[in-house]
Amino acid sequence: MRRAADLDAAYYVDWQNVTDADIPAWLERFAAAGARKMVLGTNLLYRSLGSAAFLKMLTREFDRLHLEFDGSHAPFSQAGLNMAESPEKDAVIRARLDMIRLCGDLGIKVLVNHLSCREEFYDLEATVPELRRRAISALEKLLPQAERSGVTLALENIFFPSDGSAELLAITGYFNSPHLGVCYDFGHANLIADRPGADPGLWPEKLRRVWNGRPVVWEHDMLAKLLPQVVCLHMHDNDGASDRHRLPGRGSVDWERLLPLAVSATRLLSAETEVTVVAAGVDPAELCRTFRRLGFRS
């Protein structure tokens, strides 16, 4: 059975808080801390698609520092796969196809996707089956390109009615494709976990709004249910009430129990951190040490 020691963690940075000029220095800090792999996060993905010069600079710095791209994340603010059919959604699909192509060109094997938009843009009127239908329609357009590019699309578990384990399994089961799987997000699962004292009253108002008066579907053993479809991990911590993206050990995620199971997933392609770094003042050296303590080799 695979262990964390067999894997390199891929390090995420909130690059929206870093200027182009400062990117090389941040990458140097990660390389000096022993990182081997870095996530092409949403912001870097946007910047790379928008500027050939930026992408050239980025790939040059990765080569110089002997870093590898590992995993990427599609935009999700107002661009979930289950948004209503519209010219705006058509534009999202076209952009997503370009992102898949770029990931393939860079050798990135996993592109993470949210089924739903952020909380403030969530469609409160649509039923869960309707949201599922919309997501399936989007994936029918995206999966052929994913196959051609050698990229696997990973659907991330969120804490919404439309993004729990049952919906993720329904959609991946509908396609039964080697280019579609699940990104298991430890922090998101922690917010919706079925445990003593679980109470939506502890959530921020914008999250309670998403459920729109419906009873919350608390998740029991979400990881065990999703494990056969897990192709990617997002690793961060929180207190079970707010999605804070903290260092592991600074929240209530049970890493000792969950991480060995997660890294045993037979389809796992990428184990990515999602700790907020720049905005939270986390030192890359501390971040890398934390994940080595969890067992990762780098």
Q: Is 198 exposed, middle or buried (0-12, 13-18, 19+ CB in 10 A)?
A: middle
Would you say the C-alpha torsion 22, 23, 24, 25 has a positive or negative sign?
positive
pLDDT of residue 97: 98
What is the predicted pLDDT for the residue at 1? Answer: 80
Looking at residue 162, its pLDDT comes to 97
Task: Count the residues in the chain.
Answer: 298
Q: CA of 161: how far to CAs of 122, 129, 194, 211, 214, in Å?
A: 10, 10, 15, 7, 9
Low-confidence ranges of the chain (pLDDT < 50): none
* Structural domains of the chain sorted by starting position, each given as residue range(s) with its CATH number in brackets: 4-293 (3.20.20.150)
Please give the pLDDT value at position 91.
96
Distance CA 207, CA 122 (A): 10
User: Phi, psi (5° rounding) for residue 74?
Assistant: -75, 155
